C-alpha cells in the first residue's frame, strides 16, 4: 500500500507555488507596470496559497470518494506440464503490474530450490504444493497479489491452497498429454516415457481435474495471448472492477 506523506505534500506545495507565483507576478507587472506591486502580490499569494494547498491535499487524503481499494488475491495456474501455464501467467502478471498492482510471481522453479530434498512422488508433490499454497497465502495477507503456476496435479493439494487463501482463483490450462508433448521442447515427456522420470503427470500418474475451477482455458484450441485475455477479462469483471 502506498500513501502520501506530509513531507511529500509540502514539497509538492512548494514546487507548485513557485511556478504559480512567478506567473501571478508577471501578470500583475504586465497590467500595472509596477515591479514593487508585482513582487508584493506574488509574496502574499505564495504564503496564502501554499497553506491552502497543503490543507486541501491533506483533506483529500481523508475522503474516500473516488478511491478504489482492490483486495489482494491468489491466481493459481494449474495443468499438465507444457500446457502453457508459465507463458500465460507471465503475461497476466505483466498486465496486472501495468494496472498498478503489487504482484508477486511464483513458479515451481522458484520454490523447489528452497527445498532441494523434495522429490516427485505423489506425497512429496502434495507437500510441495501445500508449501507453495502457504507462501501464496502469506503474501496475499500482506497485501500482495500472487500469480502462481504449478502443475499441482492432485486435487487435494489445490483445495488446500484454496482454503488457506483469502481470494483464490484457479485457472485450469486444459489440454491432453499428447498435445502437451508436442509443445514440450525440453523432451520431458520422452524422458518420462523412457522411464527416466517417475510420477510424471500425463504419463504414469493422472492429472486430477478440479470439479469447478473459476477459469478453464482449452489450450489446444486457444492462442496463449487469447488465453491471457480471457484470464485478465475475468479478473477485471470479478476482482479489479474496471469500468
Residues known to be catalytic:
152
Instruction: Compute CA 22 distance to the chain's CA centroid, rounded to the nearest angstrom.
Output: 43
Q: From CA 34, how far away is CA 22, in angstroms rounded?
A: 15
Rg, Å, the chain Cα set: 27
CA proximity to 240, closest of 142, 100, 114: 100
CB environment 26-56: b (16+ within 10 A), e (fewer):
eebbeeeeeeeebeebbeebbeebbeebbee
Q: From CA 124, how far away is CA 121, in angstroms rounded?
A: 5
Q: From CA 16, how far away is CA 133, in angstroms rounded?
A: 47
> Exposed (0-12), middle (13-18) or buried (19+): which is 86, by Cβ within 10 Å?
middle
Question: 63 near 223, Cβ under 8 Å?
Answer: no
Amino acid at each position: 500500500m502506498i500513501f502520501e506523506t506530509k513531507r511529500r505534500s509540502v514539497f509538492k506545495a512548494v514546487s507548485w507555488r513557485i511556478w504559480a507565483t512567478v506567473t501571478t507576478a508577471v501578470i500583475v507587472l504586465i497590467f500595472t507596470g509596477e515591479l514593487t506591486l508585482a513582487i508584493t502580490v506574488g509574496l502574499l499569494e505564495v504564503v496564502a496559497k501554499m497553506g491552502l494547498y497543503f490543507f486541501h491535499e491533506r483533506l483529500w487524503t481523508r475522503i474516500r470518494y473516488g478511491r478504489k481499494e482492490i483486495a489482494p488475491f491468489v491466481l493459481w495456474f494449474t495443468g499438465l506440464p507444457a500446457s502453457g501455464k508459465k507463458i500465460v501467467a507471465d503475461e497476466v502478471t505483466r498486465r496486472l503490474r501495468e494496472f498498478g498492482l503489487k504482484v508477486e510471481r511464483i513458479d515451481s522453479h522458484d520454490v523447489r530450490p528452497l527445498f532441494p530434498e523434495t522429490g516427485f512422488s505423489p506425497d512429496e508433490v502434495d507437500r510441495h504444493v501445500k508449501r507453495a499454497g502457504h507462501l501464496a497465502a502469506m503474501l496475499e495477507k500482506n497485501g500482495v497479489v500472487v500469480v502462481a503456476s504449478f502443475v499441482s496435479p492432485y486435487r487435494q493439494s489445490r483445495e488446500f491452497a484454496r482454503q488457506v487463501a483469502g481470494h483464490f482463483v484457479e485457472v485450469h490450462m486444459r489440454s491432453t498429454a499428447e498435445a502437451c508433448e508436442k509443445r514440450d521442447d525440453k523432451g520431458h515427456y520422452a524422458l518420462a516415457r523412457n522411464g527416466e522420470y517417475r510420477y510424471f503427470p500425463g504419463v504414469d500418474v493422472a492429472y486430477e481435474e478440479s470439479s469447478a475451477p473459476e477459469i478453464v482455458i482449452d489450450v489446444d484450441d486457444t492462442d496463449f495471448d487469447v488465453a491471457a485475455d480471457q484470464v485478465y477479462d475475468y479478473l477485471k469483471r470479478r476482482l479489479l472492477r474496471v469500468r
